[in-house]
Structure 1
Amino acid sequence: MKKKQSSKYNVVVGIPSYNESDTIPYVAKTVGEGLEEYFPGKKCIIVNVDNNSPDNTKDAFLGTKTRIEKRYISTAHGVRGKGNNMLNLFNFAKDAGAEVTIVVDADLKSITKEWIEYLGRPIVEGHDYVIPLYSRHQFDGTITNHICYPAMFGMLSMDIRQPIGGEFAFSPKLIKYLLKQSWTESTRQYGIDIFMSLSAVLGGFKICQSGLGTKIHKASAPKLGIMFEQVIETLLTVLVQNKDAWMTGNNGDIFVPDTFGLKDLAEPQELDINILDLKEKGQTEYSKYQTDIKELLEPYAFSRVHEMFEVEVFDLTILLWTQIFYSLVYRYDISTSSEDRKKIINSLKPLYFARSLSFNYHTWKYNVKYSEMEIRKSALGFASQKYYLWGLYSKGNKLGPEKTKKTRSGKQ
């Protein structure tokens, strides 16, 4: 019998980056310590997958002293995007025959060596995809809190709290599967995290979560720019391409993945937020896209949203937010041009800000535990309104739930 060829590297840890020279040394050093302690006897490597950062990220990474081998891989000059970095990492891990591939962000300030154990060990024990659990300020991760988490909870019946968290681990089987999928331009950019999480769910892979504690990084207020557009474009595109996963007459139980790592996630980092600045940005976007929003929304929904922006008092309820989002999913699905789909994504921007502001007004004086309960209520709202989404298809003479293939992708 032919002896199985040993892996070139057993464990690969990737650090995607762009202009992170100030933070990547600490991350690389900590990753090295974690690999030494938790994967002794394994051949390990730390790979910085970069976009030719002009701030000397490469030298900062390679100049960091670690006992673990390091390698720098960059996209071609002029090619940007976290997704392109991840594509380079996946190809490297596949060629190396890696048994475990871990990814951590380059801007982390709270990473500990234990994170390598918490992320990597579940892969060794047979899971395909490890997603992080953090303690995060309620004003951090707003795209996750108000769109990605409740959408996956409601439409796919998957309780994955941080689907675009930044720290992940992969089995060789999942990496090969991801490389075979269609990578759009938005996937090659900021859409990569939601693409990976949706692909793992829809592909039926064995998913778990791992508690990492507090995530301290370069946190930011809600983003209206290219990041929002790329994440939402990827989310909506993958969802409408896989309608059979959620157009089903059986609402089903919510699947909660196994949890590894820390149980007590401690207190989150402090995050100041400028409400006036958010209101101004939201008003600017609403002024730009008001006509499109009126065309896309039901009259009652538009009337309520318009009133909020007129009087600058934001109270976009979970019920109305859910119905607005689902109506835009339906519109996105039946749109026949990229221009129409772009209009839908742009129209969602001020509506997302209205929901963020409503949430912030409601929770600013409460602790994280209470705020998490409110985010959970939003997810439950998305689940309870799934029939509203189905009704849009029936109303539009499209394929209704009762006529759709009854498959349940992503259930383990």
Structure 2
Amino acid sequence: MAELDSIAAEARERVESIGAADLLIGLPACASGESLETVASGLRSAFPKTVLVYPPAAIPGVNRNGDESAPDARVQLLPYPFVPVERRDGRVQPDDLRSVFLIGQKLGTRSCAVLNSDIDSSTPAALRALLEPVLNQGFDLAVPYYARRKFDGLINSAAVYPLTRALYGKRVHYPMAQDLACSARLVGWCLQPASSRPVPLSWMTVNAVCAGLQVCQVSLGLAPPPKDTADLSAVLASVLGSLFQDLDRNVMFWQRSRGSQAVRTFGQLEAAPEESPAVDVRKMIDAFHLGCRDLMEIWAAVLSPATLMELRKLAKIPPDQFRLPDDVWVRLVYDFALGYRQRVMNRDHLLRAMTPAYLAWVASFALEVQDAGPRQVEARLERLCLAFEAQKPYLVSRWRWPDRFNP
């Protein structure tokens, strides 16, 4: 059981006064009293004794003693000092997750959910959909499965999904979940005693899979727009850095994992709108050429000679024929994961240097699927995922014998 002194001091008295609850829902991105009421009214009739945890600075004047308008007092309110908005990077913060889990464990909840997306009229239905598999179907983690337009979420499509699928063996299409529902069992696993090694909470999907717990995905329509994506290099370094950081901790799991299996999906995946933002392929290819000119020394410190040679060849291809082969891209991602582990240079600097190569992948993908329909796009991305799985022995060999295996 979580100790009360692990919870922020300003919330302890309120937690003690609530005493016990069935559900705890963290709303770190909640920005108004209207948003809070949208969630409360949508859950009031569905779940008994729910606690909503929200940032008080964003909602001054909300009654901190709960929702007195509800005659059965099913919804209780709990102000909590979440990570301030100015320190967020658009992703759910591990400190926020840990706070929600600590409070949920203290209150003895059956499930904890966290919603990091903006709140609108569809939010209560999405929360109910995420909670249903955890509360009534025996799952330990439910994450969204979004409909995707052709050029949406390309960091996820290019690296995050295929890499986590190949490493951990589960086909969770959006493993970097911003909204999620967790069972008490998963919460307890994440809050292991202080004497053991703390469990990082950046990748809850990875945590659940490595713990041998049950993971599912829930269709929730079109993905919300990304936040704070102006600095692509910073986003790429943040996302891949946190993913690569977990590899050492989970090495015994992912080196034994073979192939991949589908996870259960609840709901019908909606068709995404056909229109998709235009992609400036020429600008991306120019950025790749600039990287080949200015970053070759950094790339040479991390990439295998064969991968480096393929990038040099790619730089000479005319723009209309520009294609980055899957096996080259996969080995490049694996090489950067190894370089991150070996600390060949400052880690943030290393991952930012990957940006031109990532833009080369995006340009190649955009040219290849520019006239493709949704099914062809999905088939193309499935081939990429299979390439990550097929090339996994390359990563394992270089991880185990970095000096002996360098093709």
Q: TM-score range by the shorter chain?
A: 0.7 to 0.9
Q: Which runs of 5+ in 2 are unaligned?
A: 1-17
Counterpart position of 1:349: 355
Moved more, 364-373 or 152-161: 364-373
Residue 73 (1) aligns with residue 80 (2): yes
Q: Which runs of 5+ in 1 are unaligned?
A: 1-5, 400-412
CA distance in 1, matches of 2:117, 2:234: 20
Question: Does the residue aligned with 1:213 lie in a helix, a strand or coil?
Answer: strand
Counterpart position of 1:359: 365
1:189-220: per-residue Cα shift (whole Å, max 9, x none)? xxx54x21211111111111111122233567
1:78-110: per-residue Cα shift (whole Å, max 9, x none)? 993422222222222222222111122232557
Q: Is the 8 A contact 1:108 1:218 kept in 2?
A: no
| 1:152 aligns with one of 164, 170, 183 | 164
Counterpart position of 1:58: 59
1:309-343: per-residue Cα shift (whole Å, max 9, x none)? 5667342121111111122223333x156x45444
Q: 1:299 to 1:77 in 2, by over 3 A?
A: closer
Q: Is the 8 A contact 1:127 1:208 kept in 2?
A: yes
CA distance in 2, matches of 1:61, 1:145: 40
Q: 1:393 to 1:76 in 2, by over 3 A?
A: closer
If asked which structure has higher relative contact order (CA below 8 Å, sep 6+), I would say: 1
Q: 1:183 to 1:229 in 2, by over 3 A?
A: farther
Counterpart position of 1:374: 380
Q: 1:389 to 1:398 in 2, by over 3 A?
A: same
Root-mean-square deviation (CA, aligned residues, Å) is 3.5
Q: Is the 8 A contact 1:222 1:353 kept in 2?
A: no
Counterpart position of 2:191: 179
Q: 1:91 to 1:282 in 2, by over 3 A?
A: farther
Residue 34 (1) aligns with residue 42 (2): yes
CA distance in 2, matches of 1:280, 1:231: 24
Residue 206 (1) aligns with residue 214 (2): yes
Structure number with bigger Rg = 2
**What does residue range 242-257 of structure 1 map to in structure 2 within 5 Å?**
242-248=250-256, 252-257=258-263
Counterpart position of 1:240: 248
Q: How high is the TM-score relative to the length of structure 2?
A: 0.78
Q: How high is the TM-score relative to the length of structure 1?
A: 0.77
Q: Is the 8 A contact 1:210 1:259 kept in 2?
A: yes
Q: Is the 8 A contact 2:259 2:389 kept in 1?
A: no
Query: Could you tell me how far 1:43 is from its partner in structure 2?
Result: 0.3
Query: Partner amino acid for 1:96?
Result: L
| 1:320 aligns with one of 322, 328, 349 | 328
Aligned length: 371
Residue 124 (1) aligns with residue 135 (2): yes
Query: Partner amino acid for 1:14?
Result: G
**What does residue range 88-237 of structure 1 map to in structure 2 within 5 Å?**
88-107=99-118, 111-125=122-136, 126-180=138-192, 193=202, 195-218=203-226, 224-237=232-245
Q: Is the 8 A contact 1:31 1:113 kept in 2?
A: yes
CA distance in 2, matches of 1:308, 1:321: 12
Query: Could you tell me how far 1:150 is from its partner in structure 2?
Result: 0.5
Q: Is the 8 A contact 2:22 2:110 kept in 1?
A: yes
Query: Partner amino acid for 2:169?
Result: S
Question: Does the residue aligned with 2:338 lie in a helix, a strand or coil?
Answer: helix
1:251-293: per-residue Cα shift (whole Å, max 9, x none)? 6342221222x21323258542442555566566665533201
Question: Does the residue aligned with 2:171 lie in a helix, a strand or coil?
Answer: coil
Q: Is the 8 A contact 2:146 2:269 kept in 1?
A: no
Identity of aligned pairs, percent? Answer: 20
Question: Does the residue aligned with 2:112 lie in a helix, a strand or coil?
Answer: strand
Q: Is the 8 A contact 1:108 1:216 kept in 2?
A: no
Q: Is the 8 A contact 2:33 2:62 kept in 1?
A: yes
